[in-house]
Amino acid sequence: QVQLVESGGGSVQAGGSLRLSCAASENTRRMGWFRQAPGKDREVVAVLYTGSGVKTYAESVQGRFTISRDIAQDVANRTLYLQMNSLKVDDTAMYFCAATNIMTGSWSQEATFQYWGQGTQVTVSS
């Protein structure tokens, strides 16, 4: 069972930046960030294929958010990041880190992600 622990959420004014972190207990083939705003379905934000390094983004965050991963020399310390710049009020949501070894299906398909973190809240005010 892969353990994922998010951190870095908080409150920021529109136009500001935040960086989310996700500490993973093991490597997986695909990792991503999803978010869920109040009253809305959970949606994909960004996905990273750890083997190839390919990154894909939702259209709504393209050019503003960057997904990346840091593999330290200590293999027990693997961290996924989401750098969020030019934040908008519409970015307000609970952000979840997700990971999977399933490589079939669409890159954004939530159901193909096997492991989930507890989430970290991001609130953007005007």
Q: Write out pLDDT tens, residues 66-101.
A: 999 986 655 555 899 999 999 999 999 999 999 999
In 3D space, the residue among 9, 10, 3 whose CA is nearest the CA of residue 79 turns out to be 3
122: Cβ–Cβ under 8 A, 6 or more apart, which residues? Answer: 9, 10, 12, 18, 20, 35, 84, 87, 91, 92, 93, 94, 95
Tell whether the model's pLDDT for residue 51 goes beyond 80. Answer: yes
